[in-house]
Structure 1
Amino acid sequence: MDQEIYLDRKTFFHKLDPRTKIVILLVAFVLILYFENPLWVLPLTLLILLHGYFSESLVNLKRIRLIMIILTISSMILWSFFSNGVTPFVWVIELEAFQFAMARTMVMLSLITEGMIFLSTTRTEEFVLGMIRFGLPYRVGFAISTAFRMVPTIVSNVFIIAQAQRSRGLDLDSGNLLQRIRKYIPLLIPVFVSTIRNTNVFGMALEAKGFGAQNDRTNYYSSEFGKGDYIVMLVMGVLFAVTTYLKIMGFGGIPGLTKF
C-alpha cells in the first residue's frame, strides 16, 4: 500500500515557499464558503481545478474517488430535502433548494480537492516549517507532523492485520456491507494495541535523543520567499479582497431560499 500522498513534481507550485502554500489553502477554504449560488461558487471551483491541473496533483483524487462519489450523492439528496424555496422544481424539491444543494456539493468537493492538492505539493516537513515561520512553537509543529505521519501508519496497520487474519482463515469479504463492517470491529483491538506500542517506542526514542533539551532549533529543510511567492501572495490578496467585497455587497445569494 502506497502511504505517500506527496507527489514529487517540478511544477511551479511545488517550488513555492510552504508559507505561500498555506496561504493558498486558507484563502481557498475561506472564499469557497462565501456564496450560496452555484453560479458564484463555480468560478472558485474552476480556480481550484486549475491549481490542481498545473500542479499535476489531480491524479491523487483517484484514491478517494469512491468517497467523493458517495459524498456527492448524499449531499445532493440531503441538501435538496433539508432546504426549501418558493419555485417548484421536481417532486417535493424546490428550485432554490436544488441550487443550494449543487452549491454545497461543489463547496465540499472543492475543499477536498484543495486539501488533496496541498498534501500533494507539500511535504510534511515543509508544512511544519511553514507553520513555525508563522510563529507556531516548534513542539506544536512537531506534534502536527507526527500526527500526519501516524495516520497513514495506522491505516497501513489495519490492512496488515486484516491480511494476517485472512491468512488464518477469517472471512472478511462475504456478506452485505453491515456484516463486513461488523467483522472488522474485532480488528480494532490489535490496531489500538499496535498503535499504543509504537507510540511508547516513539516516545522513548525522543527522550533518548534529548528532544526539547534546547529551545533554539535548526532545520534540515530551509526555504525562502522568491519572486513567484510574492506574485502568488499578491494574486491571493487581490482575490481575497475582491471576493470579500462582493460578499459584503450581498452577491452570491439565492433569493427565496429557506435553509432547514
Structure 2
Amino acid sequence: MDSEIYLDRDTFFHRLDPRTKIIILLVTFVIVLYYQNPLWILPISALVVVQGILADSLINLRRIRYIMLVLAVSGLIIWNLFAGGQTRLFWIFTVESLAYSLGRVLIMLTLITAGMIFMSTTRNEEFVIGMIRLGLPYRVGFAISTALRLVPTIVGSVFIIAQAQRSRGLDLDSGNLLERIRKYLPLLVPVFVSTIRNTNIFGMALEAKGFGAREQRTFYLDIKMQRADYWMLGLMLVMFVITTYLKIRGFGDIPGLIRF
C-alpha cells in the first residue's frame, strides 16, 4: 500500500500554480456551503468530480471509501434530528428534513473530494510556498504542511501494524463492516504510540537544524503564475460572484424547513 497521497501526473491541474489551486479549494469550500437544497449543491459537486477526473485523482478516494460510506449513512440519519418540516414521511423523517440531510451529506462528500483532489495534485512543498506567497507566515504554513504529511504516515503505520497482526494470526478481513471496524480499533493504540514517538523525533530534528533561527528564508522551489492560472482565477471569480448573488437573492433554500 502506497501511503503517499500525491499522484505524480502530467495534467492541467497538476501544472497550475499552487496559489491558484489553494484559491480554487477555498472558493469551492465557500460556495458549496451557500445552499441547503441538494439540487443546488449537485452542480457544484459535479464540477468537483469533473475536476477530479481531469486531474486523474479520484482513484485516491478508494482509500477512504469506507469512511465516506459511514459518514454518508450516519449523516442521512443524524441530520434529520436537527431539522423538520410540514410534510411527514415516517418516524423522524419529513420531506424537508430528508432533503436537508441529503444536502448536508452532499456538502460533506464534496468537501472531502475537493480536499483529496487538492492533496493529490499538490506537493507539500508547493502547498507551503503557495501559502507563504499568499501572505501566510512561514511557521503557520509549515505547521499545516506537517499535519498533512502526517496523514500518509499514519495510514502507512496502520497498514504495517495490520500486516504484523495478520502474520500473528489476527483475522481482520472476515465479518461485516462493523465487525471489521471493531477489529481495527485495538490497532489504534500502537498507531498513536508510534505517531507520538515520531513527532518527538521530528521536533528534535527541527531544533538540531536551527528551525526559526532566521526570519528571512530562501526556497529551492520557485513558482510563477502562468496564463492558465489567470484564466482559472477569472473563472473562479465569476463562479463566486454568481453563486453569491444567487445566495443573496434567496435561491437554494428548502421551503418549509424547520431547523432545531
The two structures share one fold, judged by TM-score above 0.5: yes
> Against the structure 1 CA distance between its residues 232 and 70, is the aligned structure 2 distance closer, same or farther, given a 3 Å change threshold?
same
Residues 157-211 of structure 1 show CA distances to partners (whole Å, capped at 9, x for unaligned) of: 2332343344445566678877766665554444344333322322332233232
Moved more, 45-54 or 168-177: 168-177
Q: Secondary structure at the match of 2:56?
A: coil
Q: Secondary structure at the match of 1:219?
A: coil
Note the 1:86-125 alignment, pairs <5 A: 86-90=86-90, 93-125=93-125
1:200 counterpart residue number: 200
Q: Percent identity?
A: 65
> Against the structure 1 CA distance between its residues 189 and 151, is the aligned structure 2 distance closer, same or farther, given a 3 Å change threshold?
same
The 8 Å contact of residues 37 and 254 in structure 2, kept in 1 or not, is answered as yes
Q: Secondary structure at the match of 1:152?
A: helix
Decide which structure has the larger Cα Rg and report it.
1
Instruction: Output the aligned Cα RMSD.
Output: 2.4
Moved more, 250-259 or 87-96: 87-96
Letter in 2 for 1:51: Q
Note the 1:20-169 alignment, pairs <5 A: 20-90=20-90, 93-168=93-168
TM-score (norm 2): 0.89
- Please report how far the alpha carbon of residue 25 of structure 1 lies from its aligned counterpart in structure 2 after TM superposition: 0.5
The 8 Å contact of residues 172 and 184 in structure 2, kept in 1 or not, is answered as yes
The 8 Å contact of residues 79 and 97 in structure 2, kept in 1 or not, is answered as yes
Distance in 2 between residues matched to 1:187 and 1:99, nearest whole Å: 37
1:255 counterpart residue number: 255
Distance in 2 between residues matched to 1:201 and 1:210, nearest whole Å: 15
Residue correspondences, number: 260
Q: Secondary structure at the match of 2:246?
A: helix
Q: Secondary structure at the match of 1:13?
A: helix
> Against the structure 1 CA distance between its residues 135 and 162, is the aligned structure 2 distance closer, same or farther, given a 3 Å change threshold?
same
2:228 counterpart residue number: 228
- Please report how far the alpha carbon of residue 152 of structure 1 lies from its aligned counterpart in structure 2 after TM superposition: 2.0
Distance in 1 between residues matched to 2:43 and 2:257, nearest whole Å: 21
Distance in 2 between residues matched to 1:105 and 1:169, nearest whole Å: 38
- Please report how far the alpha carbon of residue 156 of structure 1 lies from its aligned counterpart in structure 2 after TM superposition: 2.1
Distance in 1 between residues matched to 2:182 and 2:52, nearest whole Å: 37
Q: Which runs of 5+ in 2 are unaligned?
A: none
The 8 Å contact of residues 32 and 107 in structure 2, kept in 1 or not, is answered as yes
Distance in 2 between residues matched to 1:177 and 1:234, nearest whole Å: 45
Moved more, 155-164 or 135-144: 155-164
- Off by >4 Å, runs of 4+ in structure 1: 168-189
Letter in 1 for 2:53: Y
- Please report how far the alpha carbon of residue 237 of structure 1 lies from its aligned counterpart in structure 2 after TM superposition: 0.8
- Please report how far the alpha carbon of residue 126 of structure 1 lies from its aligned counterpart in structure 2 after TM superposition: 0.8
1:239 counterpart residue number: 239
Distance in 1 between residues matched to 2:45 and 2:187, nearest whole Å: 39
Distance in 2 between residues matched to 1:189 and 1:88, nearest whole Å: 45
> Against the structure 1 CA distance between its residues 220 and 181, is the aligned structure 2 distance closer, same or farther, given a 3 Å change threshold?
same
Moved more, 144-153 or 112-121: 144-153
Moved more, 69-78 or 16-25: 69-78
